[in-house]
Amino acid sequence: MAAYIARDMIIAKRLKGKAIATWLGPTGDAARRAVQRVRDRITSAAPRLELYFDIADPWSYLTAQAVSRLAAAYTVDLALHVVTPPASDVDPAPGLRAVHAVRDALQLAAYWDVEFTGKREADPGMVRDIGTALIRARPAAEQLRAALELTGAMWAGDRKRLEALLGTWGTESHGSVAPILNSAYAELRKAGHYQGAMMSYGGDWYWGIDRLPYLEAALARDLGREVAGVVRPRPEAERGPQRLSDKPLACELWFSFRSPYSYLALEQIEAVLAPYQIPLVLRPIAPMVVRGLPVPQVKRLYIVRDAKREADRLGIPFGELCDPLGGGVDNCLAIAHWAAKRGPADALAFARSAMRGIWSEARDVSEYVDLRAVVERAGLPWDGARVALDDPEALRAAQANATDLAVISLWGVPSLRVGDFVAWGQDRLPLLADRLRRHALAASAPAPVPGPG
């Protein structure tokens, strides 16, 4: 009887996975766009590009640069909303996030043709002062220019220039800032998102320069023109030799079996590292919710839809999913720990097989039938894996990995560290590939000839 119940549960989850895949796929996208068109007709509103801008957020500054170029390249109605930083329910580690955002923005600016001169987190006093200028009503194009000029001065640490710009743009009282920004953030949440550096167009969301190609494609499609490519990588001549470390390199990858972005990273990482023969060290951790970090529904829905969009671009199967939270995650952590003892190749083979099962086949890894299938597909013996499920050391290892992740000012996955390169997100793999290329150039450069004496 138990076997029949388990079989029925697995079948039910497979069907649920197929339903989710339909919601995520072209049929679901078409339905969402149809709803948006109906809303536009009812409200008589023309489609417009909306930017949600967080003054203290480096990613918002980079995104505003991209939007400025989009507005110049495409005829589009523009709106800019200045919002507060994310609420605590979607931003569980604001201190770490602020530190990492600056580091990440510097790396993005070194790779893409955008500018960022920040060296530390935004100065709270400057943020408050800029708020007094950006709550003033003005046309969207002027507001965007004001946001770029004011926050550009802030990130450069140029107080004198900031004071001059505040005089030029004009200000309101400090007491008026919080209510207006809080109201704008509430409208953002009502619209279906939760943080700055977001662009909204035609019922879809686009985060930062990472998702700009999708937005440009939508604009070009609607306007019947070619994609302009407003943000491109800098010429390689500007991205010359640069060492990652003077020590032998290894790539550490922190990931969670419940993270769709981790699945996408695991599917790509070998191709990035192989040309340079960089060893991969997998660092599995428990999901955020297990570590006491909330992931509300608005965030989960965006992440799954965005991951589907990225998976389609990369040609990675995705959509028939089965949430492994609970016993499924525990099983995967235990077998991952056991596989790592066998060797890095076995660890990667299991992680990839399990992730494919979870995110593209709706396999329930809390059940032995599906768990055994992903283990054996990885070329591993089920008898050994099954014994490993009782090893308490696996959870301790996952906790240690999470502690090490916090040391590098990160908390989410997938996260990467190679030498001095630290990044969060599968979006950063092109940046890693570029840094490895630059490191190889530096390593192959001839040693300087000593001078006389």
For the stretch 351-376, pLDDT in tens is 999 999 999 999 999 999 999 999 99
What is the pairing mode between strands 77-83 and 198-201? unpaired
- Domain architecture of the chain: domains with CATH: 46-223 (3.40.30.10), 251-439 (3.40.30.10)
Residue 32 is predicted with a pLDDT of: 47
Residue 292 is predicted with a pLDDT of: 76
Residue 446 is predicted with a pLDDT of: 75
- Which parts of the chain have pLDDT scores under 50? 4, 14, 17, 23, 32, 36-37, 39-40, 43-44
* Lookup: tokens for 44: 């008589």
Residue 44 is predicted with a pLDDT of: 46
Question: What is the C-alpha to C-alpha distance for residues 322 and 19, in angstroms, rounded to an integer?
Answer: 11
Instruction: Kindly report the three-state secondary structure assignment for every residue of the chain.
Output: CHHHHHHHHHHHHHHHHHHHHHHHCHHHHHHHHHHHHHHHHHHCCCCEEEEEEECCCHHHHHHHHHHHHHHHHCCCEEEEEEECCCCCCCCCCHHHHHHHHHHHHHHHHHHECCCCCCCCCCCHHHHHHHHHHHCCCCCHHHHHHHHHHHHHHHHCCCHHHHHHHHHHHCCCCHHHHHHHHHHHHHHHHHHCCCCCCEEEECCEEEECHHHHHHHHHHHHHHHCCCCCCCCCECCHHHCCCCCCCCCCCCEEEEECCCCHHHHHHHHHHHHHHHHHCCCEEEEECCCCCCCCCCCCHHHHHHHHHHHHHHHHHHCCCCCCCCCCCCHHHHHHHHHHHHHHHHCHHHHHHHHHHHHHHHHHCCCCCCCHHHHHHHHHHCCCCHHHHHHHCCCCHHHHHHHHHHHHHHHCCCCCCCEEEECCEEEECHHHHHHHHHHHHHHHHHHHCCCCCCCCC
Residue 29 is predicted with a pLDDT of: 57
Q: Judge whether 251 and 416 are in contact, CB under 8 Å.
A: yes
* Lookup: tokens for 226: 């070619």
Residue with token string 């590009």: 49
Question: What is the C-alpha to C-alpha distance for residues 235 and 450, in angstroms, rounded to an integer?
Answer: 31
Question: What is the C-alpha to C-alpha distance for residues 251 and 432, in angstroms, rounded to an integer?
Answer: 10
